Structure 1
Amino acid sequence: MIQTERPYVLSIAGLDPSAGAGILADVKVFELNQVYGLSVCTALTMQHDADFRALEWVPLPTILDQCQPLFERYPIEIVKVGLIESFAVLDQLTGWLLQQNPGIQIIWDPILKASAGFTFHAESPYVALETVLRRLRILTPNAWEAQQLTGIDSPLEAAKVLSQYCLVYLKGGHVEPVEETVTDYLLWEGEVLAAYPAPHLPQGEKHGSGCVLSSALAAGLAKGQSISETGRSTRQYMNRYLASTPYLLGFHTL
């Protein structure tokens, strides 16, 4: 017998010992948002909130071996994917997930480099990208990631292109120059469905903020919220998280 009071959400991402990012941060978000968090490790990282030193990738077969018993035991409808070794691995992983549950909703946070500056992928992002995007429910790039994934200078125009394949939640907090208001956008089929403005917080830079946001989106979907409700509740959660401390590590509160 398993608990059925809360929906299950799986995070497939890296292990950050500081717990500001990756699967440890994701499970914090899941618990606070009243969904049951499961996790699978894709990489062992050597880092803290201000310094990324090294990582060791977990091989794809080992990732799938971690996933298999979870899918055998729990009804998993929502998966958040974070740090992943390559786009080829992401292609194989998302294909495997759909084999386990053809109706599964996958959220991908396309982590191309760490907030401390470490770049994870030297390969072209175009490898297998279109196939992967069609399998996603939501893609959550920041401005730089949207540019890198498309080769388009304007983050919003890049997000419009990406949204031809899946929903895109474009994070506005990494845009230069910094303005008084930061705006996130939800896009689908080249159109902006919703905009979520928030005041820029001078102390709001947080290690792992992208992980937190994508996990909050996953939790909202798992609870049956509409896309617009999920986007709005996620932005509200992020506002509280970013304002929670003046440090790189934030607190999770409702």
Structure 2
Amino acid sequence: MIKRPYILTIAGFDPSSGAGLTADIKTIEALKGYGLSVCTANTIQNDVEFKTCYWTDIDVIKSQVEILFDRFAIAYVKIGIVKNWEVLNAIIDVLLEKNNTIKIVLDPVLKSSSDFDFRSSNTNSLDAENYFEKILDKIYLLTPNYDEIERLYKDKTIQETIAHIANKTNLFLKGGHRKEAIGKDELFTSEGKQFVLNPKRQNISEKHGSGCVLSSAITTHLALGFSLLKACYRGKRYTEKVLSSNNSLLGYHKIKE
């Protein structure tokens, strides 16, 4: 029997299980990884409404990370919502202390699908931007959608932002929020290469937490040994399966036999 790789997700808890930790775990398990999890926030939400968010204390997050690394060999981590860039930077430093070759996939969730703003208090501050710059130097892949990449640098155009980020790390730009060519994703590597991943399925409907599913699917495929491009391609195809699984806002995950 082939041993499954351990994959850690550091994200928020969504009671509807469409997004956050539980969506990540379902994705990881369906793709034959073993999901470990650390909770950054307890949210009051369902698939259409987001009321509030209770952030986990940074010391609790660190302790959870440390005890998992004491027990399991973890080489790949997916990170979702975190209170702010400063806290995220501290979490990443703990990860790197535990494994200095760890590959981190960051899904920079700035706003929920129901329009709750996670970063309204500090996104535009100089300190926040400085922390974000440090973070880019430490992660393996950033997976923003078009709404998110527009908010990362207020003084840059999208193309300038793409060039800046790709100069520091790999960038997978999700196309679900594009004004044109919806669903066309783009991978920009730190080596200067660019790839276009076009949508394949037609019977796709919007899903709560689709960005969480995609980033965790990419992370799982990386952990399974696929190259960055193949991991992104396979992650996109898996996400499309979830998006086409039914007509509701909550997708189904099918376990592969």
> Normalising by structure 2, what TM-score?
0.92
Contact 1:15/1:41, CA 8 A, preserved across alignment: yes
Aligned residue identity for 2:117: T
Structure 1 position 129 matched with structure 2 position 126: no
The structural deviation recorded for 1:59 is: 0.7
Give the alignment of 1:25-174 within 5 angstroms: 25-121=23-119, 122-123=121-122, 124=124, 125-151=128-154, 154-174=157-177
The structural deviation recorded for 1:88 is: 0.4
Aligned residue identity for 1:57: W
Give the alignment of 1:240-251 within 5 angstroms: 240-251=241-252
| Structure 1 range deviating more: 75-84 or 146-155 | 146-155
Structure 2 spans left out of the alignment, 5+ residues:
none
Cα distance change of structure 1 residues 187 and 152 upon mapping to structure 2, 3 Å threshold? farther
> Normalising by structure 1, what TM-score?
0.93
The structural deviation recorded for 1:211 is: 0.5
Aligned residue identity for 1:158: T
Structure 1 spans left out of the alignment, 5+ residues:
none
* Percent identity for Structure 1 against Structure 2: 37
The structural deviation recorded for 1:62 is: 0.5
Structure in which a larger fraction of residues adopt strand? 1
Give the alignment of 1:212-223 within 5 angstroms: 212-223=213-224
Deviations 1:175-231 (A, max 9, x none): 12x54x521011023844311011585752111011001100110110010111101
Return the alpha-carbon distance in structure 1 between the equivalents of residues 13 and 91 of structure 2: 18
- Alignment size in residue pairs: 250
Return the alpha-carbon distance in structure 2 between the equivalents of residues 139 and 147 of structure 1: 14
Aligned residue identity for 2:139: L
Which residue of the partner structure matches residue 10 of structure 2? 12
Give the secondary-structure state (helix, strand or coil) at the position aligned to 1:126: helix
Give the alignment of 1:183-202 within 5 angstroms: 183-189=184-190, 191-198=192-199
The structural deviation recorded for 1:36 is: 0.5
